[in-house]
């Protein structure tokens, strides 16, 4: 599947579902699309193809940590940060999400991702299922953070 073909398919599927989206410029990805309201929780969801992994479709959402959580996190020493990151990674592993703690727009965020890497099985339904799955994982991660942090 060529770069533009994957993007064309994703855009066509989103239009077919009536989901509004916009293209996001990201030098790390062949293309990146932000869906404004997706899944049962109506959250922003990103769909992208990493440049280093053509044919892979990544669907993800970012849980923004609350200001009080960010303050605590930034106050952690290296050992406490590693312990927190391991707790988050273990939780995300338990719900079958790939995670990444990132700083963006001055905020700490926890990205939760689902990766579709079977070219034959990347289709409208698997993408929509992954969007719903990411929406669910976003909610679970958000609740996990509130409970444990």
Residue 57 has what pLDDT? Answer: 95
pLDDT in tens, the chain (149 residues): 455 789 999 999 999 999 999 999 999 999 999 999 999 889 999 999 999 998 999 999 999 999 999 999 999 999 999 999 999 999 999 999 999 999 998 899 999 999 998 777 899 999 999 999 999 999 999 999 999 88
3 state SS for 62-131: EEECCHHHHHHHHHCCHHHHHHHHHHHHHHHHHCCCEEEEEEECCEEEEEEEEEECCHHHCCHHHHHHHH
**Contact, 4 vs 49, CB < 8 A?**
no
The CATH number of residue 13's host domain is 3.30.1460.10
CA distance 103 to 120: 34
- Other C-beta atoms lying within 10 Å of the C-beta of residue 101: 15
CA distance 74 to 37: 30
Per-residue pLDDT tens digits for 1-16: 455 789 999 999 999 9
Per-residue pLDDT tens digits for 54-74: 899 999 999 999 999 999 999
Domain count, the chain: 1
CA distance 2 to 125: 20
Q: What is the residue range of 66's domain?
A: 3-148
Residue 51 has what pLDDT? Answer: 93
Determine the angle formed by the axes of helices 3-17 and 124-148, rounding to 10 degrees: 80
Residue 143 has what pLDDT? Answer: 96
Residue 120 has what pLDDT? Answer: 72
């Amino acid at each position: 599947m060529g770069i533009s073909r994957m993007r064309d398919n994703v855009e066509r599927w989103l239009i077919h579902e009536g989901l509004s989206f916009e293209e996001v410029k990201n030098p790390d990805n062949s293309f990146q699309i932000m869906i404004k309201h997706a899944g049962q929780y109506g959250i922003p969801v990103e769909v992208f193809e990493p440049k280093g992994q053509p044919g892979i479709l990544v669907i993800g959402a970012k849980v923004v940590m609350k200001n009080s959580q960010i303050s605590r996190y930034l106050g952690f020493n290296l050992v406490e940060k590693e312990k927190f990151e391991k707790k988050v990674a273990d939780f995300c592993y338990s719900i079958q999400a790939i995670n990444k703690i990132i700083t963006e727009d001055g905020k700490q965020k926890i990205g939760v991702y689902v990766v579709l890497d079977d070219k034959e099985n990347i289709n409208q339904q698997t993408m929509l299922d992954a969007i719903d799955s990411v929406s669910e994982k976003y909610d679970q991660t958000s609740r996990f953070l509130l409970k444990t942090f």
